[in-house]
Amino acid sequence: MQPIDYDVLIVGSGIIGATYACALLQGGMRIALVEAKPKSNDKKEEFDLRTYALTRASERIFTNLGVWDKIAAQRISPFREMHVWDAGGEIHFNSTMLNEATLGHIVEQTVIQAALTARLAEFETLTNYRPAKVQTFNLTKDESAMQVHLDNGQSLTTRLLISAEGANSSIRTNAGIPYQIREHGQQAIVATVQTAHPHQQTAWQRFLPTGPLAFLPLSEPQTCSIVWSIDTPLAQRLMTLDKQAFQQALEKAFALKLGTVTDCGQRATFPLQSRHALQYVQPRLALIGDAAHTVLPLAGQGLNLGLLDAAALSEIVLNAHAKRQDFGSYRELRRYERWRKGENLIMLKVMDGFKYLFAKPPLKWARNLGLSLTNTTVPLKQLIIQYAMGLKGDLPRLANINT
């Protein structure tokens, strides 16, 4: 039998890949991280353009992995209320409904990544290959391991190969795993803005016929991260506007809910797609995070779903490893696929459904009635926000309790 270099080899050291690595390393496994991008030592003082609304479930995952304190030591922005509306209806959520301190936290991508990097540095059983890319991979003759060939000429063997590369996963492509993709004809504009009125630690989202506009509260009381999902031609026109004209367009779209937009930083766009792999696993191979699924950013659930993938798969792998079972076998990996695939598909359909519901003028009466009824039905509101916060559902152990 060929010697095994690593228990698990993870391709992609972004937030999902690094989180998964932390979980396995904490369980005493030998892990390799392969990352194509060179290491960056840049420290950003300004707010990052990419921010995430972390649920309470994600907070618990990071707490149990020894990462949350490192995040909190940098910069986090709790939100205690959520206000969603369109031209004819609205719904309001408050953390006091559930006797919770917060609904979640808005955290910048660079802050989460830095905390994970610091935590990974504390483990001695981690090996980094960076910058490096996987050229090819194949099962060994006895199918007891995967052999992975890097572009630097090295060949490594592992019991389990993980793709955490993101939506354009080369591992998924080379493994021949098909996926469904839906183009929405929209772009998301992201930026950091200053407003005349404080955000009141509230996540604000307005649904427009062209797409939703979210103002997410950051740590400074009059600073928000915006995510404006909008039809591509209009997004392209908005990106050509000078700062003042863009701020005026933003104020109009947001109905001056926080007063005038007094300043706006750099803007960026990314295309909106829904994507779902038809298989999450093969023998000795698994997809997690955006490599397996991407959803619309209507409720900020994309990263949270990926973190639940990482927590669920780590639980299955560590349980099998503790029992001296073959954690890389198709049988064990199918447990992960059955656990997470259905949950992710439901969220993908729900987000696509929201887009359809709010984009179709003929459905306006039904939409407004639904918003109004939900807003006045406290038990239903509580149930919705509990699922959105990660307080209900078939959650992994890392997301459930403090271990």
The confidence score (pLDDT) of residue 390 equals 66
pLDDT in tens, 200-229: 999 999 988 888 899 999 999 999 999 999
Residue scoring higher pLDDT (274 or 238): 238
Angstrom CA distances, 369 to 88, 206, 364, stand at 9, 16, 8
pLDDT in tens, 334-380: 999 999 998 888 777 665 555 555 555 544 545 554 555 555 555 54
Secondary structure, 3-state, 93-125: EEHHHHCCCCCEEEEEHHHHHHHHHHHHCCCCC
C-alpha closest to that of 263 among 255, 275, 251: 251
- Between 30-44, 198-212, 266-280, 332-346, the lowest mean confidence (pLDDT) is in 30-44
* Mean pLDDT confidence for 26-41: 92
What CATH number belongs to 6-74+109-180+274-400? 3.50.50.60
Domain ranges of the chain: 6-74+109-180+274-400
Q: Is the pLDDT of residue 231 over 80?
A: yes
- Between 93-102, 197-206, 266-275, 278-287, the lowest mean confidence (pLDDT) is in 93-102
* Mean pLDDT confidence for 265-280: 92
The confidence score (pLDDT) of residue 381 equals 54
- pTM (two decimals): 0.91
Mean pLDDT of the chain: 88
b/e code 67-90 from CB counts within 10 Å (16+ = b): bbebbbeebbbbbbbbbbbbeebb
pLDDT in tens, 308-319: 999 999 999 999
Beta strand 261-264 with 223-231: parallel, antiparallel or unpaired? Answer: unpaired
Residue scoring higher pLDDT (272 or 314): 314
pLDDT in tens, 125-171: 999 999 999 999 999 999 999 999 999 999 999 999 999 999 999 99
Q: What are phi and psi of 387, to 5 degrees?
A: -70, -40
Residue scoring higher pLDDT (112 or 390): 112
